[in-house]
């Protein structure tokens, strides 16, 4: 289950404080230009260092280890690796004693019998999304001219995001947020019946990201309030263009050529500087946990490029898959 996709297949490796994170990408078509420079823009969009994000700075220039020769993809698996450079050797043993609320500390220890790499969240770290963004860069090339654009709608319900951040950071707290993504130039026919539905695969990969609590397509949660006469997207022309887009761009799980529209809700960052009353598994009683260091006040800020990458990965896979129909 460490892979996603049927044709364009992404397999991940790496941990937050190990030597590197990366991905193996199967079945990128041969002949696509690809170099390290192609990754700079999206990698920078994901990076921290801006207001509301942690000061952990990585150069994050990916190394293309295989699958590219003389600047072009060869058809062989593309292995992309991003070194971890700015890891700190801080002591994580406290989190075995007092697993952080909202983190994987507790479940990872239970699942792996304590052998998991707890440092920085190990393989559960959002650091892995670096590899997703890198995979997304390749996927976007495969997808073109399909183009996804993700944007933050609000954080904490506030569209004045700067103001909300100031308030949250002053309180040493964190805040959730909502990201909306639109895909244009969609072909008709992507997605397979039932388990292969376009939105099922989108939902799957979005919920693979850390901190996601909701995924909506088209009308989303509002659909529960709507009547059929309002929700139905009537056809407007011979290309399948519809007057409205409550479906979000699919019918029966298959793209209908209208824009893909979906939203992803992210929870607030779990690491906060505010002391928390939680169970101390060694002492056998409730204790006060103080998490040191600085953290993203709002992880949502970094996610638009990740959400785009995920959407592009699904789309690239289904575009290639669709070729089996000849």
Query: Min. distance of Cβ 143 from a second copy in angstroms?
Result: 14
What phi, psi does 162 have (nearest 5°)? -60, -45
Q: Which is nearer to a second copy, 140 or 256 (CB)?
A: 256
Between CA 58 and CA 44 the distance in angstroms is 10
Q: Are 67 and 28 in contact (CB under 8 A)?
A: yes
Tally the C-alpha atoms within 13 A of residue 79's C-alpha that lie toward its C-beta.
8
Query: Min. distance of Cβ 199 from a second copy in angstroms?
Result: 5
307 binds a second copy (CB under 8 A): no
Q: Tokens at residue 74, please?
A: 């060869």
Q: Tokens at residue 277, please?
A: 């009353």
Between CA 5 and CA 21 the distance in angstroms is 19
Q: Which of 173, 245, 259, 294 binds a second copy (CB under 8 A)?
A: 173
Query: Min. distance of Cβ 41 from a second copy in angstroms?
Result: 24
Q: Tokens at residue 223, please?
A: 């659909």
* Residue of 227, 192, 219 whose CA lies nearest to 314: 192
Q: Which residues, 214 to 253, sit near a second copy by CB under 8 A? A: 214-221, 223-238, 240, 242, 246-248, 250-253
Residues in Cβ contact with 325 at an 8 Å cutoff, skipping those fewer than 6 apart: 189
Q: Which of 14, 136, 183, 304 binds a second copy (CB under 8 A)?
A: 14
Between CA 298 and CA 293 the distance in angstroms is 15
Q: Which residues pair with 106 in a beta bridge?
A: none
Between CA 80 and CA 59 the distance in angstroms is 15
Q: Which is nearer to a second copy, 37 or 194 (CB)?
A: 194
Query: Min. distance of Cβ 318 from a second copy in angstroms?
Result: 9
* Residue of 255, 161, 177 whose CA lies nearest to 212: 177
Q: Are 160 and 153 in contact (CB under 8 A)?
A: no
Q: Which of 61, 159, 184, 188 binds a second copy (CB under 8 A)?
A: 188
Q: Which of 137, 175, 181, 306 binds a second copy (CB under 8 A)?
A: 175
Q: Which of 155, 161, 186, 305 binds a second copy (CB under 8 A)?
A: 155
Q: Which of 11, 147, 245, 259 binds a second copy (CB under 8 A)?
A: 11
Between CA 190 and CA 323 the distance in angstroms is 10
Q: Which is nearer to a second copy, 61 or 188 (CB)?
A: 188
26 binds a second copy (CB under 8 A): yes
Q: Which is nearer to a second copy, 22 or 47 (CB)?
A: 22
Q: Which residues, 42 to 101, sit near a second copy by CB under 8 A? A: 65-67, 69, 72-79, 81, 99, 101
Q: Which residues, 262 to 281, sit near a second copy by CB under 8 A? A: 265-272, 274, 276-279, 281
* Residue of 38, 47, 16 whose CA lies nearest to 302: 47
Q: Which residues pair with 22 in a beta bridge?
A: 13, 81
Residues in Cβ contact with 180 at an 8 Å cutoff, skipping those fewer than 6 apart: 150, 151, 153, 261, 262, 263
# binding residues, a second copy (CB under 8 A): 150
Q: Which is nearer to a second copy, 236 or 290 (CB)?
A: 236
Q: Which of 124, 127, 161, 304 binds a second copy (CB under 8 A)?
A: 124
Q: Which of 50, 51, 149, 213 binds a second copy (CB under 8 A)?
A: 213
Q: Which is nearer to a second copy, 148 or 321 (CB)?
A: 321
Query: Min. distance of Cβ 116 from a second copy in angstroms?
Result: 5
Q: Which is nearer to a second copy, 37 or 229 (CB)?
A: 229
Q: Which is nearer to a second copy, 44 or 185 (CB)?
A: 185
């Amino acid at each position: 289950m460490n892979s996603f996709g049927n044709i364009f297949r992404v397999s991940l490796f790496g941990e937050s404080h190990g030597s590197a994170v990366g991905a193996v990408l199967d079945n990128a078509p041969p002949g696509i230009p690809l170099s390290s420079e192609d990754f700079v823009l999206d990698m920078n969009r994901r990076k921290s260092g801006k207001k509301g994000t942690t000061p952990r700075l990585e150069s994050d220039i990916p190394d293309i280890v295989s699958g590219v020769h003389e600047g072009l993809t060869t058809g062989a698996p593309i292995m992309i690796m991003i070194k971890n450079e700015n890891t700190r050797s801080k002591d994580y043993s406290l989190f075995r004693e007092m697993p952080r609320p909202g983190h994987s500390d507790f479940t990872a220890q239970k699942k792996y019998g304590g052998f998991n790499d707890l440092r920085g969240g190990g393989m559960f770290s959002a650091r892995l999304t670096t590899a997703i963004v890198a995979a997304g860069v390749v996927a976007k090339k495969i997808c073109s001219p399909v183009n996804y654009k993700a944007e933050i709608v609000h954080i904490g319900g506030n569209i004045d995001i700067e103001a909300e951040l100031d308030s949250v950071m002053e309180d040493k707290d964190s805040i959730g947020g909502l990201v909306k993504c639109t895909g244009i130039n969609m072909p008709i026919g992507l997605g397979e019946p039932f388990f292969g539905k376009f939105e099922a695969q989108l939902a799957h990969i979005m919920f693979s990201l850390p901190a996601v609590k909701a995924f909506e397509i088209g009308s989303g949660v509002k659909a529960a309030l709507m009547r059929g006469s309002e929700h139905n997207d009537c056809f407007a022309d011979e290309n399948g263009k519809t007057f409205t887009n409550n479906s979000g761009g699919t019918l029966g799980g298959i793209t209908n050529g209208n824009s893909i529209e979906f939203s992803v809700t992210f929870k607030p960052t779990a690491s906060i500087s505010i002391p928390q009353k939680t169970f101390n598994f060694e002492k056998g009683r409730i204790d006060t946990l103080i998490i040191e260091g600085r953290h993203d006040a709002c992880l949502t800020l970094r996610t638009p490029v990740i959400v785009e990458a995920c959407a592009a990965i699904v789309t690239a896979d289904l575009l290639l898959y669709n070729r089996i129909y000849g």
